[in-house]
Amino acid sequence: MAPPAVLVIHGPNLNLLGRREPEIYGRTTLAEIDAALAALGRELGLRVECVQHNGEGEIITAIQQAEGRFRGILINAAGYTHTSVAVRDALAAIGMLGVPAVEVHLSQPAAREPFRHVSLLAGVCRGSVSGFGAAGYGIALRGLAELLPAGGGL
């Protein structure tokens, strides 16, 4: 039986990791994060698929298409965390269909500009991890793995 699959969604500008504001986001690239998640996924008995989208609609489509394909979602919606009711609604809908989501952020939004203090997504995610840099993705994946029902498939 195939291992359970988890979708990792990286939001806008995360394709620039390693070069964009390294004092805030670190020097780890998105490719390095994805490779580390794939390796950790194998260790946890999960198949990890990672996507990056700059557009809000693309993120929503990825969330909606997760039903029947993935057992859980790990999402760093980046700037859309603070602005997108539509991404929130998509996560709420997929959560009601049995696909839990965990939110992750490289930086600690509550310690940054006031407009970053509120996550519109947190209320529909099963958990949130922030402030641990690239390591936060692994922490979040471990947490998501604990939420998934036992058994393979998807």
Of the residues 25, 53, 80, 137, only one is catalytic, namely 25
125: Cβ–Cβ under 8 A, 6 or more apart, which residues?
A: 75, 91, 95, 100, 101, 102, 103
Quick check: helix, strand or coil at residue 60? helix
Task: Give catalytic status of residue 105 as yes or no.
Answer: yes
The structure tokens listed for 112 are: 């940054």
Residue 97 Cα to chain centre, angstroms: 18
Helices (H), 45-106: 56-64, 85-96
Task: Give catalytic status of residue 25 as yes or no.
Answer: yes
Residue 135 Cα to chain centre, angstroms: 13
Of the residues 10, 53, 80, 105, only one is catalytic, namely 105
Task: Give catalytic residues, as residue numbers.
Answer: 25, 105
